[in-house]
Amino acid sequence: MALLKSCSCFCSNCLGDIDSPSKIYFCLDCDSTMCNSCKTVHGKITTLIGHSVIKYEEVNSFPTISLMQAIKCYRHHGEKREFYCSDHCSSFCFTCFLQDHRRCEHSERIEKIANDLNQSVRLEEIINKTEKQQISLKTMHDYKSSNLQALKEERPKLEAEMSALIEKIIAMYYQLLMKRATY
């Protein structure tokens, strides 16, 4: 499953590796990742001043479908971006898909990626709940096992006490019978 947060990032401008996720920036208008130095230069170029540059970490906080489809393809103006390629860390329109990304292993429709992400979040929640229930069941099992073990250890002692009481009752019964027989 290709996700926005899964690509290994490098600066689209200087092509340098970015060593920390917190140092990655993303231009929503250019659809490019950039390092801090290139972000600074990007903000000084007159034609790029109005671009929306955000921290790459924040990209995942936007509704994915709305974010990518709201941005028009920079090569095929007017066409909505419907695909995302994690091999190239970019979103693009259907025409770009046919021209440049048909052979990419991780090109998928943005809508599918968003649905897969939602399903994986739900699956994680189910797994977490299941793990919590498993811990709770294990705790209950351990508690019952320790109680059962304690009962098993007490059983011989209780049986001995009951036998002693039974013998005492029988002895008292015989004493009463003897007293009654002597009257």
State the pLDDT at residue 180.
84
Q: What angle do CA 156, 159, 160 make, to 5 degrees?
A: 85
Residue 105 makes CB contacts below 8 A (sequence gap 6+) with: 87
Looking at per-residue pLDDT, the higher value among 71 and 101 belongs to: 101
Is the per-residue pLDDT at 60 higher than 70?
A: no
pTM: predicted TM-score of the whole model, two decimal places: 0.36
Instruction: Give the tens place of pLDDT for each residue, 7-17.
Output: 456 787 787 77
CB-based contacts of 87: which residues, under 8 Å, 6+ apart? 7, 101, 104, 105, 106, 107
- Tens-digit pLDDT profile for residues 91-113: 788 888 888 888 888 888 877 87
In this structure, the chain runs to a length of: 183
Least confident of 30-34, 43-47, 166-170: 30-34
Mean pLDDT of the chain: 79
pLDDT at 170: 95
Higher local confidence (pLDDT), 3 or 99: 99
Q: What does the pLDDT read at residue 145? A: 92
- Top-ranked range on mean pLDDT: pick from 50-54, 74-78, 79-83, 152-156: 152-156
Q: Which among 41, 33, 40, 44 is positioned nearest to 11, based on CA atoms? A: 33
What confidence tier does 168 reach under pLDDT thresholds 50, 70, 90? very high
